[in-house]
Amino acid sequence: MDSTNPSPKPSYSPRKSDRRQARKQSRVSTRGLYLRAIKDAFVKLNPKYAIKNPVMFLVWVGTIITTIATIDPYLFGPVSGNNLQLFNGLITAILFFTVLFANFAEAVAEGRGKAQADALRTTKSETIAKKLLSDGSVSEVSSTSLRIGDTVYVAAGDVIPADGEVTMGVASVDESAITGESAPVLKETGSDVASSVTGGTRILSDELIIRITADPGKGFIDRMIALVEGAERTKTPNEIALTVLLAVLTLVFLFVVVTLPAIARYVGSPISVVVLVALLVALIPTTIGGLLSAIGIAGMDRVAQFNVIATSGRAVEACGDVNTLVLDKTGTITLGNRLAEGFIPISTYSTQQVANVALAASIFDDTPEGKSIVRLAEKLGAKIDFDSHRAEAVEFSAKTRMSGTNLPNGSQARKGAVSAIKGFVRSRNQQDTPTPVLDAAYEGISQLGGTPLAVALDSEIYGVIYLKDIIKPGIRERFEQLRRMGVRTVMLTGDNRITASVIAGEAGVDDFIAEATPEDKISVIQREQAAGKLVAMTGDGTNDAPALAQANVGVAMNTGTQAAKEAANMVDLDSDPTKLIDIVAIGKQLLITRGALTTFSIANDIAKYFAIIPVLFTSANLGSLNIMKLTSTNSAVLSALIYNALIIPALIPLALTGVKFQPLTANQLLQRNIFLYGLGGVIAPFIAIKLIDVLITLAGLA
Ligand SMILES: Nc1ncnc2c1ncn2[C@@H]1O[C@H](COP(=O)(O)OP(=O)(O)OP(=O)(O)O)[C@@H](O)[C@H]1O
Ligand SMILES: [K+]
Ligand SMILES: [Mg+2]
């Protein structure tokens, strides 16, 4: 839970994003990226890879056929015409470039990940680990020999040899190797969120004893490398469905093209094999076929640029389908640094007395709330009148919703949710005490969106602490955007009903659940899923792990426990719960981009069909069909093919950055995109082909 998170809340200053930006740029040089992609484009010509993309593979096969026809134009039967070898050679070259361009698109998309993986690998060099043996002695071993369950000792200056949990000590650690943030992070034992350490990070001060939790090659950095490199990138269900659709379309066009020679012979206008291959390539969906995997990779990459590591493309894509977002109140919707604003006494007690009990109940509470209560109480002159070394801490838990101190004299000081403290007092008094003043204070604070904490000593409630929290600026607009995209937001909080409804109303969430226990989180998710919804959530604690695993998209905070990180399918390196909203937007954009480019590609192919087919039959005195007045059959085929090849690199930037994103529902988007990319896709080829036809006629190529 957030209130137990000792690390500072993320700031929203532009400086931080600038730093992140600078880091990305230094890691990846654009020039190197393109050079590498050009090389990879050739490597991907290997049939072993090429066959994974059926549409482009067919183009590759076509290239080989036209190559043979260039060497011997008469091999596949009698053909007429002059300059056959030049024409066939040109077609072959264009087809070859079509395949290369598609490979290049994929390679560019993969490039950034590969460069990032290289940078990560440099942090992963083998180190010497100080392993603790059962007899208490220390033995120096290689980090690669460590196994789960081993215990190691690390001190200032050491690199942590493998992932683990701190079992003893407190130390500050430089995690910039994975998060890019130079500020040191405090690691300590016992804490739910600060006890997990990552191999490859460096201890800056003090020393730690760590129990290893990952075998060699299975650590967080290893997983990150595999992920950013795309080694684990499997096709997502949506991608598979689209690949099947494209294959079917390809078959249809293959059938169309195969039946053409018979018709052509009938009308007395025979067509050569090379023209048939060219026609086939022009008609099959090569544009989307060539860009499909680049779009998917770019989606993962865009998530990575937000400093979020996705375990699979499937996870990013699932974000696009999310219908319900489950969010925490404290720290996600509100700023989360709830600070004590005042003490309100009840019955005969004075403010001073409330402050004294509040202080006694908070001396061991190191949550931001606890510390702010101590500060305020001390400011009001409160003092503790017992030996704190002999007192016992009662830790806060989201289940009990209270915390406190057992004093040396046997007294119990508590503070917590008003209902929880009422329950605490009732169990000692065996009856309810009517407390109209308490209820008024509770309601007053809640109406302001604040959190009221009741303060009790043994069987007496002394008063209420007002914890003030502020809704994050701009959060209402973000929920508004989500609503327009058809995403429902549900706020989940351990806080009381009134506070919850006030904050929910101000923030504009669709629904909320108050006084929620950690178990409620999982049941909310299950209920939504039972209604056919895809659910996304964030979490950091161990008790969030089951809910993170249950959600379709679970984003764990990097400050969270190992269990939470393993259960999630994304890890946010900045530990900013608000990012879930951005990730959902990225997922939506990925799906929209794919849809838009598919529409454009298919519209293009249909337009090309009507542009070229008539020209093929001009010699049969069907010239009136040549509405575009293209120069000749050859120039029509060449123009169409050149357009077909060039459109792939022309659309790479769009495939990588994604189409312009507007928060609309899926249906509205579909309509808008069919109009924009469908109509555009029909018109563009006519204009472009005509233009290229004029140019190559001027150049005397056809
Ligand atoms: N350190 C604390 N000591 C005592 N009581 C606390 C402490 N922190 C929170 N509480 C009380 O327990 C309630 C539940 O806390 P919990 O962390 O489950 O939810 P929350 O912080 O209010 O909201 P969210 O679930 O959005 O983080 C709080 O609303 C508050 O009344
Ligand atoms: K095509
Ligand atoms: Mg909380």
Read out DSSP for 287-319? HHHHHHHHHHHHHHHHHHHTTEEES-HHHHHHH
Residue 396 annotated in ligand binding: yes
The pLDDT value recorded for residue 288 is 94
The pLDDT value recorded for residue 542 is 67
Which atom of ligand 1 lies nearest, measured to the CA of 518? Answer: 18
Q: What is the pLDDT of residues 73-85, one digit of tens each?
A: 888 777 777 788 8
Tokens matching residue 15 = 């400086």
Give the pLDDT band (50/70/90) at residue 646. Answer: very high
Residue 565 annotated in ligand binding: no
Residue nearest atom 28 of ligand 1, based on CA coordinates? 495
State yes or no: pLDDT of 22 exceeds 50.
Answer: no
Which atom of ligand 1 lies nearest, measured to the CA of 516? Answer: 18
* Single pTM value for the model: 0.73
Residue nearest atom 26 of ligand 1, based on CA coordinates? 329
Which atom of ligand 1 lies nearest, measured to the CA of 329? Answer: 26
Q: What is the pLDDT of residues 430-473, one digit of tens each?
A: 777 778 889 999 999 999 999 999 999 999 999 999 999 889 88
Residue 619 annotated in ligand binding: no
Enclosing H/E stretch for 536: strand 535-539
Residue nearest atom 29 of ligand 1, based on CA coordinates? 495
Q: Which of 401, 421, 466 to mutate to test the pocket of ligand 1 (most atoms within 8 A of CB)?
A: 401
User: Which amino acid would we find at residue 65?
Assistant: I
Which atom of ligand 1 lies nearest, measured to the CA of 495? Answer: 29
Kindly state the average pLDDT of the residues 498-519.
92
DSSP state of 431: S
Residue nearest atom 31 of ligand 1, based on CA coordinates? 417
Residue nearest atom 16 of ligand 1, based on CA coordinates? 494
CA-angle at 56, arms to 680 and 241, nearest 5° = 75
The pLDDT value recorded for residue 603 is 93
Whole-number Å distance between alpha carbons of 471 and 484: 21
Q: Which of 495, 499, 520 to mutate to test the pocket of ligand 1 (most atoms within 8 A of CB)?
A: 495
Q: So which residues are the catalytic ones?
A: 328
Q: What is the pLDDT of residues 136-185, one digit of tens each?
A: 889 999 888 999 999 999 999 898 999 888 998 889 998 877 776 677 88
The pLDDT value recorded for residue 215 is 87
User: Which amino acid would we find at residue 535?
Assistant: V
Please state, rounded to an integer, the average pLDDT across all residues of the chain: 85
Kindly give the distance from the C-alpha atom of residue 286 to the centroid of ligand 2, in angstroms, as a whole number: 4
The pLDDT value recorded for residue 191 is 60
Kindly give the distance from the C-alpha atom of residue 690 to the centroid of ligand 2, in angstroms, as a whole number: 17
Cα 542 from chain centre: 21
Kindly give the distance from the C-alpha atom of residue 314 to the centroid of ligand 2, in angstroms, as a whole number: 27
State yes or no: pLDDT of 349 exceeds 70.
Answer: yes
User: Which amino acid would we find at residue 620?
Assistant: A
State yes or no: pLDDT of 670 exceeds 80.
Answer: no
Tokens matching residue 163 = 């992932």
Q: Which DSSP string corresponds to 355-417? A: HHHHHHHHTT--SHHHHHHHHHHHHTT----S-GGG-EEE---TTT-EEEEE-TTS-EEEEEE
Q: Residues with Cβ within 6 A of ligand 1?
A: 1-3, 328-330, 365, 367, 369-370, 396, 398, 401-403, 415-417, 451, 453, 493-495
State yes or no: pLDDT of 663 exceeds 80.
Answer: no
Kindly state the average pLDDT of the residues 352-380.
94
Kindly give the distance from the C-alpha atom of residue 454 to the centroid of ligand 1, in angstroms, as a whole number: 12
Tokens matching residue 142 = 């290689």
State yes or no: pLDDT of 397 exceeds 80.
Answer: yes
Q: Which residues contact 667 (CB under 8 A, 6 or more apart)?
A: none
State yes or no: pLDDT of 239 exceeds 60.
Answer: yes
Residue 402 annotated in ligand binding: yes
The pLDDT value recorded for residue 584 is 87
Q: What is the pLDDT of residues 58-75, one digit of tens each?
A: 999 999 999 999 998 888
> Which ligand is the nearest neighbour of the Cα of 640?
2
Give the pLDDT band (50/70/90) at residue 627. Answer: low
Three-state SS at 454: strand
State yes or no: pLDDT of 1 exceeds 60.
Answer: no
The pLDDT value recorded for residue 24 is 46
Tokens matching residue 151 = 């215990």
Q: Are 626 and 690 in contact (CB under 8 A)?
A: no
Residue 399 annotated in ligand binding: yes
Which atom of ligand 1 lies nearest, measured to the CA of 415? Answer: 4
> Which ligand is the nearest neighbour of the Cα of 547?
1
Kindly state the average pLDDT of the residues 10-30.
44
Give the pLDDT band (50/70/90) at residue 272. Answer: confident
Residue 77 buriedness (CB in 10 A; 0-12 / 13-18 / 19+) = exposed
User: Which amino acid would we find at residue 290?
Assistant: G
Residue 168 annotated in ligand binding: no
267 compared with 256, residue with greater pLDDT:
256
> Which ligand is the nearest neighbour of the Cα of 279?
2
Percent of the chain with pLDDT over 90: 42
- Packed helices 286-305 and 54-71: angle between N→C axes, nearest 10 degrees: 130
> Which ligand is the nearest neighbour of the Cα of 331?
1
Q: Burial code of 290-313, b = ≥16 C-beta within 10 A, e = fewer? A: bbbbbbbbbbbbbbbebbbbbbbb
Kindly give the distance from the C-alpha atom of residue 5 to the centroid of ligand 1, in angstroms, as a whole number: 12
What are the residues facing 300 on neighbouring strands?
Answer: none
Kindly state the average pLDDT of the residues 565-574.
84
Percent of the chain with pLDDT over 70: 91
Give the pLDDT band (50/70/90) at residue 626. Answer: low
Kindly state the average pLDDT of the residues 206-227.
84
Residue 495 annotated in ligand binding: no
Kindly give the distance from the C-alpha atom of residue 318 to the centroid of ligand 3, in angstroms, as a whole number: 27
State yes or no: pLDDT of 527 exceeds 90.
Answer: yes
Residue 443 annotated in ligand binding: no
Kindly state the average pLDDT of the residues 560-576.
81
Residue nearest atom 25 of ligand 1, based on CA coordinates? 493
User: Which amino acid would we find at residue 242?
Assistant: L
Kindly state the average pLDDT of the residues 180-194.
72
Whole-number Å distance between alpha carbons of 616 and 679: 25
Q: Which DSSP string corresponds to 581-614? A: HHHHHHHHHHHHHHHHHHHHHHHHHHHHHHHHHH
State yes or no: pLDDT of 27 exceeds 50.
Answer: no
Whole-number Å distance between alpha carbons of 549 and 587: 19
191 compared with 345, residue with greater pLDDT:
345
Kindly state the average pLDDT of the residues 2-15.
35
Of 227-231, 454-458, 497-501, 536-540, where does mean pLDDT reach its minimum?
227-231
Kindly give the distance from the C-alpha atom of residue 3 to the centroid of ligand 3, in angstroms, as a whole number: 4
The pLDDT value recorded for residue 466 is 97
Closest by Cα among 127, 130, 114, 106 to 28 = 114
The pLDDT value recorded for residue 23 is 45
State yes or no: pLDDT of 321 exceeds 80.
Answer: yes
Enclosing H/E stretch for 153: strand 151-155
Three-state SS at 68: helix
The pLDDT value recorded for residue 619 is 58
Kindly give the distance from the C-alpha atom of residue 63 to the centroid of ligand 2, in angstroms, as a whole number: 14
The pLDDT value recorded for residue 16 is 42
> Which ligand is the nearest neighbour of the Cα of 492?
1
DSSP state of 159: B
Three-state SS at 182: coil
Whole-number Å distance between alpha carbons of 503 and 380: 29
The pLDDT value recorded for residue 14 is 32
Closest by Cα among 334, 267, 259, 224 to 622 = 267
Give the pLDDT band (50/70/90) at residue 192. Answer: low
